[in-house]
């Protein structure tokens, strides 16, 4: 057993951290999210070329740094600390994950595009009627000669305004909620029949409603097996969930740190409010929440390559811990900052908003508790 | 002890219900449904309808327009307002400064201010908190020095900064706590001043909150000249008014009727949203359990409030028990917004205000019930901070109720 990071992993963390410190301070981030496009191509290019981190979880053969899930965790935690909005999660973790695991013939080429920063991916999985049941799909892909024709509406596709490609879940068979009949496609966002409505999200990201109207794709658009894609979807979403837990850990560490700083300098009743025991205990509880979240994030990340059931259980357990901690740490960070915590001007509120969105991302606390229960106790009669 | 309403009470309830149904401005209903921000005129339009009917300030003394209602009638009135989703009457004039004026003010002050508050002709804001004086309000530093003006009259010259001043951007008048004796002990030496917001030297600057809204402001006062007759109660005794007002503020803060309406809305929303199993969310046992727990807590708060009201109408003013109402009331309001955001699922994320791409006025994405859930959740975090933070309220209960 070893919880130490390798020298390369520590270097990766330091490189990302020092880049973000220099070029991604809070004021720059706030300016960025208010621009027309809401993100920075220059940052993305720097991630690809200066830092090389877009290749962090890919093998050296493919042109990557030779890492895996732990490297994703490191990058995402640092991104969480700086509230980075550029789409590493959907492009590298999710897009890269689908390509790596599927054995797709074009995977090497597409991953090359990701590493170079040229291929940017958004993940179109959610639908308006569906909550966190990934196979609940009204979007269809009908066989058409060698290829497929896709129709449907995908909801709140994070990062879609910046994407060159979409990974789309669609039904090639079965009923709306069947486990069988789920397929995954990689679709050029400029394909004929793809339209989007773009909008900002409450935590400073951008997203789109994506509409597919008779979108023709070739046979090579299929990622994984036709009709048998749910296992792959679950695996990649679990990997993405673990990565989001790491992002939340980064955001929570910052909120805790900011709260301690504020409590030490804010004086009321003739003393720093950090001296009040009720607030000390609250900050201790925040600390314990952060530490437990770190532990669960490590645990889930290290179990991503185990059997489907073990992996799913570990990830759901981690997401339950992280979901609860995001709420507790976020709410109390605002509370202890008092009115100042409510202002748009201070960073802490923006961390709170991001943490709140991660709480619901890829499944709420209830969803993951239920999934854990089913895996641990068996299905309810 | 019994829980029944008398036939008179029920007749009263029906009268209120019919009045609201007939007279509530239609354009306000549409705006509330869309979750739009309300303008000054919006707030005042409903205020004026109620003022004309004689119902805008039920708790005031009768001679100034109060209704002389029993606590049951007041309760029923509040229930009906919430049931109709009527926008609330803003507290700063009617519920905050007016009770101070009719309790501590001179006859001339009552005549000058109360009718205009009643009729909605003057909008009030509250100048209490300062950057260095939040929970520790008595440490406020805004200074008022007494001088004799060129006209031979007495004035205060006020200098300092107030903050978190709600809707000061619309205000005609503000009530301010200022320090008139720099050498006195901390809670002595404070005076309660009424200041015309148009007086030279006052600057109001917006504070944007994490939900993107503009409700609160900084108010800067630089050599603001205030006639001495604008002071309520004795010089250096303003803390008495301040404490009295805070207790009043807390008793209204429970918001039981509105939270009951909020629970109903969650139930409606969860009736149309779908859960993980594709059935409606309200049938989801985990979600249903949380709504049930909230309803039970709200019922406990409702009956606690009714007990407090009953002892108030038996002649005791609002006491430190009102801190309990503030704590539980705001916790419930916050949980309501958590549940709404949870119910919204993916569609809690889209945001439709203040961004460059926002100019097209397109209808927001997703179900109507979802599109303000995240900003509401963020905004409602303020309730456990304002009006004396919930930590301070617990201190008050510990000290004043439990004698610790």
The pLDDT tens digits for A143-155 are 999 999 999 999 9
- B350/A339 Cβ within 8 A: no
Average pLDDT over residues B332-343: 97
Place of tokens 């979901």: A323
Determine whether the interchain pair B349/A327 forms a contact, defined as Cβ–Cβ distance below 8 Å: no
- Smallest Cβ–Cβ distance between A200 and the set B208, B346, B355 belongs to B355
Residue B360 scores a pLDDT above 60 = no
CB of A345 within 8 Å of any CB in chain B? yes
Q: In chain A, count H helices and then E strands.
A: 12, 10
Helix axes of B40-53 and B7-23: crossing angle, nearest 10 degrees: 140
Rounded to the nearest angstrom, the minimum Cα separation between B47 and chain A is: 28
* Residue A120, phi then psi, degrees to nearest 5: -120, 130
DSSP one-letter code for B29: H
pLDDT (tens digit, 9 = 90+) per residue, B183-201?
A: 998 889 999 999 999 999 9
Alpha helices in chain A (DSSP H): 7-23, 26-33, 41-45, 69-82, 88, 96-102, 107-116, 230-265, 277-302, 308-337, 347-360, 365-377
> What is the rounded distance in angstroms from the CA atom of residue B265 to the CA atom of residue B370?
11
Residues in B closer than 8 angstroms to A196, CB to CB, are none
Closest residue in A to B277 (Cα) is A133
A198 touches chain B (CB under 8 A): yes
CA atoms within 13 A on the CB side of A130: 23
- Can you list the pairs that A330-335 forms with residues at least 24 positions away whose Cβ atoms lie under 8 Å? A330/A252, A330/A255, A330/A355, A330/A356, A331/B381, A332/A259, A332/A282, A332/A283, A332/A285, A332/A286, A333/A255, A333/A256, A333/A258, A333/A259, A333/A286, A334/B210, A334/B381, A334/B385, A335/A282, A335/B381, A335/B384, A335/B385, A335/B389, A335/B390
Beta-strand relationship, A165-171 and A121-124:
parallel
Residues B359-383, mean pLDDT to the nearest whole number: 84
Chain A, residues 294-333, CB within 8 A of chain B, namely: 327, 331
In contact, B324 and B397? CB cutoff 8 Å: yes
Q: Measured between CB atoms, which of B274, B276, B374 is closest to A202?
A: B374
- For residues A210 and A163, what is the distance between their CA atoms, to the nearest angstrom? 12
DSSP secondary structure code for residue A115 in this structure? H
Characterize A331-345 residue by residue with b for buried, 16 or more Cβ atoms within 10 angstroms of its Cβ, and e for exposed: bbbbbbbbbbbbbbe
pLDDT score for B251? 56
Residues of chain A found within 8 Å of residue B374, distances taken between Cβ atoms: 202, 353, 356-357
Q: CB neighbours of B240 closer than 8 A, spacing ≥ 6? A: B104, B233
User: pLDDT tier at B357 (50, 70, 90 boundaries)?
Assistant: very low
Give the model's confidence band at B356: pLDDT under 50 very low, under 70 low, under 90 confident, else very high. Answer: very low
Question: In percent, how much of chain A has pLDDT > 70?
Answer: 99
Nearest to B138 by CA among A310, A339, A13, A269: A269
Nearest CB among A155, A334, A349 relative to B346 is that of A155
Residue linked to tokens 């005549």: B111
Across the range A104-117, mean pLDDT stands at 97
* Residues B37-59: b if buried by 16+ CB within 10 A, e if exposed: ebeeebbbbbbbbbbeeebbbbb
Instruction: Out of A156, A335, A364, name the one closest to residue B342 (CB).
Output: A364
Counted residue by residue, chain A has a size of 381
Predicted pLDDT at B359: 46
Tokens read off for B156 = 């205060």
State the nearest Cα–Cα gap between B345 and chain A, in angstroms: 6
User: What is d(CA A225, CA B380) in angstroms, rounded to the nearest whole number?
Assistant: 47
Contacts of A367 in chain B (CB under 8 A): 276
pLDDT in tens, A197-233: 999 999 999 999 999 999 999 999 999 999 999 999 9
Instruction: Extract the runs of DSSP E, i.e. beta strands, from B151-201.
Output: 154-162, 173-179, 190-196
The pLDDT tens digits of the residues spanning B32-71 come to 776 677 899 999 999 999 999 999 999 999 999 999 998 8
- Chain B positions in Cβ-Cβ contact with residue A338 (cut-off 8 Å): 134-135, 385, 389
Please count the other Cβ atoms lying within 10 Å of the Cβ belonging to residue B356. Answer: 11
Rounded distance between C-alpha atoms, residue A201 and residue A204, angstroms: 6
Question: CA–CA separation, B359 vs A177, rounded Å?
Answer: 38
For A50, A120, B282, the CA distances from A68, given in Å and listed in that order, are 20, 19, 41
To the question of domain A7-119 being in CATH 1.10.540.10, the answer is yes
Q: Write the pLDDT tens digit of every residue in B156-173.
A: 999 999 999 999 999 999
What is the per-residue pLDDT for B355? 45
| Domains of chain A, residue spans | 7-119, 123-228, 231-377
B247 Cβ contact list (under 8 Å, min separation 6):
B317, B318, B319, B320, B322
**Residue-averaged pLDDT of chain B:** 92
- Cβ pair B233, B79 in contact under 8 A: no
Which of A342, A354, A360 to mutate: most B Cβ within 10 Å? Answer: A342
Predicted local confidence at residue A210, as pLDDT: 98
- Is A46:A89 a contact under the CB 8 Å cutoff? no
In the prediction, which pLDDT does B322 show? 84
Evaluate whether ipTM surpasses 0.95.
yes
Contact B139 A132 (CB under 8 A): no
* Selected catalytic residue, list B79, B80, B130, B249: B249
Q: Which fold has domain A123-228?
A: Butyryl-CoA Dehydrogenase, subunit A; domain 2 (2.40.110)
Distance from CA of A199 to the nearest CA of B (A): 7
**Residue in A35, A209, A339 nearest the CB of B164:** A339
pLDDT digits (tens, 9 = 90+) for A294-315: 999 999 999 999 999 999 999 9
> A218 and chain B: CB distance < 8 Å anywhere?
no
CA–CA separation, B231 and B154 (whole Å) = 11
Q: B373-384 pLDDT, tens per residue?
A: 999 999 999 999
**CA gap B230, B155 in Å, rounded:** 9
Q: Residues near B289 by Cβ (< 8 Å), separated by ≥ 6?
A: none
So what's the pLDDT on residue B115?
98
Query: Quick one: pLDDT at residue A381?
Result: 52
pLDDT band of residue A338 (cuts 50, 70, 90) is: very high
Q: Give the CATH class of A231-377.
A: mainly alpha
Residues of B in contact with A26 (CB under 8 A): none
Which chain A residue has its CA at the smallest distance from B163's CA?
A339
Q: Which of B387, B296, B226 is nearest to A339 (CA)?
A: B387
Which DSSP letter does residue B363 get? P
| Burial of A239: CB neighbours in 10 Å, binned 0-12, 13-18, 19+ | buried
Contact between chains at A202 and B348 (C-beta distance less than 8 A):
yes
Whether residue A269 lies within 8 A of chain B, CB to CB, comes out as: yes
H or E stretch covering B376: helix B373-380
**Predicted local distance difference test score (pLDDT) of residue B358:** 45
Q: How large is the average pLDDT for residues B79-93?
A: 92
Q: Does the beta-carbon distance from A133 to B276 stay under 8 Å?
A: yes
Q: What is the mean pLDDT of chain A?
A: 97
Contacts 24+ apart (CB under 8 A), A139-147: A139/A168, A139/A169, A139/A170, A139/A171, A139/A212, A140/A170, A140/A171, A140/A172, A141/A170, A141/A171, A141/A172, A141/A183, A141/A185, A141/A217, A142/A172, A143/A172, A144/A216, A146/A218, A146/A219, A147/A216, A147/A217, A147/A218, A147/A219, A147/A221
Question: Are A367 and B276 a contacting pair at CB < 8 A?
Answer: yes
Q: Phi and psi (nearest 5°) for B227?
A: -60, 140
Residue A267 with chain B: CB contacts under 8 Å: 132
Q: Which two tokens stand for residue A69?
A: 């899930």
B249 among known catalytic residues: yes
Give A52-92 pLDDT, tens digit per residue: 999 999 999 999 999 999 999 999 999 999 999 999 999 99
Give contacts of A 49-108 with B, CB under 8 A. Answer: none
- Residue B273, token pair as written in the block: 């949203």
- Is the pLDDT reported for residue B319 higher than 80? no
Q: Which pLDDT belongs to residue B313?
A: 65
A364 touches chain B (CB under 8 A): yes
* pLDDT for the residue B363: 66
Inter-chain residue contact A370 with B351, CB threshold 8 Å: no
For residues A197 and B366, what is the distance between their CA atoms, to the nearest angstrom?
12
Look at A335 and B389 and tell me if their CB atoms are within 8 Å.
Answer: yes
Which chain B residue shows the shortest CA-CA distance from A136?
B278
Residue A199 with chain B: CB contacts under 8 Å: 350-352, 355, 357, 365
Interchain CB distance below 8 Å, B355 and A339: no
Which pLDDT score, from 0 to 100, does residue A165 have? Answer: 98
Residues of A in contact with B381 (CB under 8 A): 331, 334-335, 341-342, 352
- Closest residue on chain B to A371 (Cα): B276
Rounded to a whole number of angstroms, the distance from the CA of B176 to the nearest CA of chain A is 19
Nearest in space to A16 (alpha carbons), one of A46, A58, A57: A46
CA distance A91 to A96: 6
In chain A, residues 143-172 whose CB comes closer than 8 Å to chain B:
155-156, 158
Paired with A343 in beta bridges are B209
Residue among A190, A263, A247, A261 nearest A362 (CA): A247
């Amino acid at each position: 057993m070893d919880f130490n990071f390798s020298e390369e992993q520590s270097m990766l963390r330091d490189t990302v951290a020092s880049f973000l410190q220099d070029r991604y301070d809070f004021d720059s981030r706030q300016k960025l999210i208010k621009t027309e496009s809401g993100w920075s191509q220059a940052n993305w290019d720097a991630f690809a070329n200066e830092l090389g981190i877009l290749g962090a979880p890919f093998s050296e053969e493919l042109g990557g740094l030779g890492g895996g899930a732990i490297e994703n965790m490191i990058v995402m935690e640092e991104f969480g600390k700086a509230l980075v909005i550029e789409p590493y999660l959907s492009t590298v973790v999710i897009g890269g994950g689908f390509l790596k695991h599927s054995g797709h013939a074009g995977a090497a080429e597409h991953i090359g595009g990701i590493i170079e920063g040229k291929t940017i991916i958004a993940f179109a999985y959610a639908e308006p009627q569906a909550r966190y049941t990934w196979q609940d799909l009204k979007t269809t892909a009908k066989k058409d000669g060698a290829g497929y024709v896709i129709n449907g509406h995908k909801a709140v596709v994070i990062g879609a305004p910046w994407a060159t490609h979409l990974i789309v879940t669609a039904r090639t068979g079965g009923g709306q909620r069947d486990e069988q009949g789920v397929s995954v496609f990689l679709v050029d966002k400029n394909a004929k029949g793809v339209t989007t409505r773009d909008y900002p999200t409450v935590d400073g990201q951008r997203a789109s409603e994506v509409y597919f109207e008779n979108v023709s794709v070739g046979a090579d658009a299929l990622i994984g097996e036709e009709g048998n894609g749910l296992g792959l979807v679950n695996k990649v979403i679990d990997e993405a969930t673990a990565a989001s837990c790491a992002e939340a850990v980064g955001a929570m560490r910052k909120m805790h740190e900011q709260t301690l700083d504020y409590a030490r300098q804010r004086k009321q009743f003739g003393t720093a409010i950090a001296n009040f025991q009720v607030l000390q205990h609250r900050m201790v509880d925040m600390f314990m929440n952060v530490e437990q979240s770190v532990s669960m994030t490590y645990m889930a990340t290290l179990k991503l390559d185990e059997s489907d059931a073990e992996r799913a259980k570990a990830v759901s357990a981690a997401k339950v811990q992280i979901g609860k901690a995001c709420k507790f740490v976020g709410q109390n960070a605002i509370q202890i900052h008092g009115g100042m915590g409510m202002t748009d001007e201070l960073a802490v509120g923006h961390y709170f908003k991001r943490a709140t969105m991660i709480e619901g991302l890829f499944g709420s606390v209830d969803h993951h508790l239920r999934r854990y229960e089913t895996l641990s106790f068996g299905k309810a009669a | 002890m019994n829980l029944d309403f008398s036939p008179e009470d029920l007749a009263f309830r029906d009268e209120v219900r019919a009045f609201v149904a007939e007279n509530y401005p239609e354009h306000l209903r549409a705006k509330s449904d869309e979750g739009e921000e309300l303008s000054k005129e919006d707030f005042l339009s409903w205020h004026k309808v109620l003022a004309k009917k004689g119902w805008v300030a039920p708790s005031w003394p009768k001679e100034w327009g109060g209704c002389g209602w029993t606590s049951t009638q007041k309760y029923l009135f509040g229930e009906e307002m919430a049931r109709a989703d009527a926008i609330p009457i803003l507290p700063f004039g009617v519920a905050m400064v007016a009770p101070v004026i009719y309790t501590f003010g001179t006859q001339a002050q009552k005549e000058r201010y109360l009718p205009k508050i009643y009729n909605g002709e003057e909008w009030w804001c509250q100048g209490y908190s300062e950057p260095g004086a939040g929970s520790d309000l008595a440490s406020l530093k805004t200074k008022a020095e007494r001088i004799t003006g060129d006209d031979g009259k007495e004035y205060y010259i006020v200098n300092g900064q107030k903050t978190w001043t709600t809707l000061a951007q619309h205000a005609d008048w503000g009530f301010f706590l200022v320090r008139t004796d720099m050498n006195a002990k901390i809670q002595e030496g404070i005076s309660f001043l009424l200041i015309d917001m148009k007086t030279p030297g006052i600057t109001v600057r917006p504070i944007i909150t994490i939900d993107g809204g503009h409700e609160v402001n900084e108010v800067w006062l630089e050599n603001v000249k205030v006639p001495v007759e604008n002071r309520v109660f004795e010089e250096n005794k303003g803390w008495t008014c301040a404490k009295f007002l805070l207790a009043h503020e807390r008793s209204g803060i429970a918001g039981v009727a509105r939270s009951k309406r909020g629970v109903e809305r969650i139930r409606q929303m969860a009736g149309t949203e779908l859960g993980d199993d594709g059935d409606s969310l309200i049938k989801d046992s985990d979600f249903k359990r949380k709504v049930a727990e909230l309803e039970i807590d709200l019922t406990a708060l409702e009956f606690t409030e009714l007990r407090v009201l009953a002892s108030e109408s038996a002649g005791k003013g609002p006491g430190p028990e009102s801190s309990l109402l503030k704590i539980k009331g705001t916790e419930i309001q916050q949980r309501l917004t958590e549940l709404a955001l949870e119910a919204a699922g993916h569609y809690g994320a889209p945001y439709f205000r203040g961004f460059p791409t926002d100019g097209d006025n397109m209808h927001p994405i997703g179900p109507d019930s979802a599109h303000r859930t995240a900003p509401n959740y963020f905004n409602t975090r303020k309730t456990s901070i304002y009006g004396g933070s919930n930590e301070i309220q617990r201190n008050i209960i510990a000290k004043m109720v439990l004698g610790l």
